[in-house]
Structure 1
């Protein structure tokens, strides 16, 4: 379990303070769509940008989407914590988890972002997030804007 999420006394997953920041950030970045749609490269997607096990024609409630996001952020947060070998403050963790959620944990873990951060280059890692602004081989303004916001959040922890 990542530090973004913890288990309640009843066993349910609940967000930590960093988790709430991740949910808010990722939810705003992805937007909420209750019916499955194809993203800009044709992948069936729903809720807050979820692609795992999504098929066209599926519909969800907001509560289902919220629960799915919490579980997936925990999954991606755990992967971020596995790949990143140095301590991270909350905003860096949220920025990295948002990136991993969007590009996949394999892409994130093999990225220049992780290599630079693990080498002690926090600023360089934040800057490297800007490389992830393409879909289908072309630069996408929405991804460029998202990466700028994630970079800004990452840089806020330097100091």
Structure 2
């Protein structure tokens, strides 16, 4: 991890994002299904190719932790300033949902890298509530939870 994660445990960020945000908002599906935008998904919002028909909850939790580690490593490459543990957890949950490219090219990350306080960039999460061009209430609810985590209110 980059220097900006010094003093912040990647394992703690992954655990916080995975348990408090991703698992609760993605939900557990032991079998693959097609999500609202037509993407094959399984476990906890995992869009990688499913290599089996049914997953146990433990297998899904292990896959999630591994994938969150990869997402954290990737998104940390485009964030140039230190963040707190709860801020990283919110950014990681959001990145897992929208993808690294979208996150790294976002106004939210630009504001982080400008050194703006969390109060200036956490509200950017509220803009990411669309799927397939339509506003999705479930995404609005998730972003509210991520924003609360980002702002230290959860």
Per the TM superposition, whether the score is higher than 0.5 is yes
Does the 8 A contact of 1:113 with 1:124 survive in 2? Answer: no
Q: How does 1:10-159 map to 2 (within 5 A)?
A: 16-25=11-20, 26-54=22-50, 58-121=53-116, 122-156=118-152
Q: Name the count of aligned residue pairs.
A: 146
What secondary structure, in the 3-state scheme, does the structure 1 residue paired with 2:120 have? helix
What secondary structure, in the 3-state scheme, does the structure 1 residue paired with 2:77 have? helix
Alpha-carbon distance in 2 for matches of 1:47, 1:85: 31
What secondary structure, in the 3-state scheme, does the structure 1 residue paired with 2:42 have? strand
| 1:92 CA drift (Å) | 0.3
Q: Does 1 or 2 have the higher relative contact order (CA < 8 Å, sep 6+)? A: 2
Gaps of 5+ in 1: 6-15
| 1:38 CA drift (Å) | 0.7
What secondary structure, in the 3-state scheme, does the structure 1 residue paired with 2:33 have? strand
Query: TM-score, normalization: structure 2?
Result: 0.87
Q: Calculate the aligned-residue CA RMSD, in Å.
A: 1.8
Alpha-carbon distance in 1 for matches of 2:53, 2:130: 27
Q: Per-residue CA shift, 1:102-130, capped at 9, x if unaligned?
A: 00000000011100111122222111111
Query: TM-score, normalization: structure 1?
Result: 0.85
| 1:22 CA drift (Å) | 1.7
